[in-house]
Amino acid sequence: MPKSVLVVSQSGVHPLSLSVALKSTVANVIWASSIAQASRILRRDRSIAHVATQAALPDGTWSDLVDVILEEESAAAVHVWTPETNFAFRFEVARRGDTVLCSASPNQALVFE
């Protein structure tokens, strides 16, 4: 099953680096305009390997998506950017037993591996 990238962005605002990354990848791109819509998509689509989102949207924050990823036991990596600075972080989210592991690294290029 091909891996997909879920992009959560209000009114299509995203950094240029995301546009470049999406054009250079073979992944299917799914768009959502809110945290609620993204959460519904994550619950039904198991092919999503990456989530790219603004740090905060009117109906929630990126951490709300992490909660859904953990709840659904998805293997998604979360890429978070702030429109003001055009800077991104990549969060790897995993559960080991009752422990939630979340590691962050600067990811200005928004590379989807």
CATH number of domain containing 68: 3.40.50.2300
Look at residue 60 and tell me if it is in a domain: yes
Does the pLDDT of residue 108 top 70, yes or no? no
**pLDDT at site 77:** 74
Q: pLDDT tens-digit profile of 10-64?
A: 766 565 556 656 666 555 778 888 889 988 998 898 888 778 887 777 788 777 8
Q: Is residue 2 scored above 80 in pLDDT?
A: no
pLDDT at 40: 92
Is residue 53 assigned to a domain? yes
113 assigned to some structural domain: no
Q: Is residue 34 part of a domain?
A: yes
Give pLDDT tens digits for 70-80: 787 776 777 77
Q: Domain span at residue 83?
A: 4-106
pLDDT score for 5? 78
Structure-token match 């198991």, residue found: 46
Number of domains in the chain: 1
Output b/e per residue, 65-97; b: 16+ Cβ within 10 A. Answer: bbebbeebebebbbbbbeeeeeebbbbebeeee
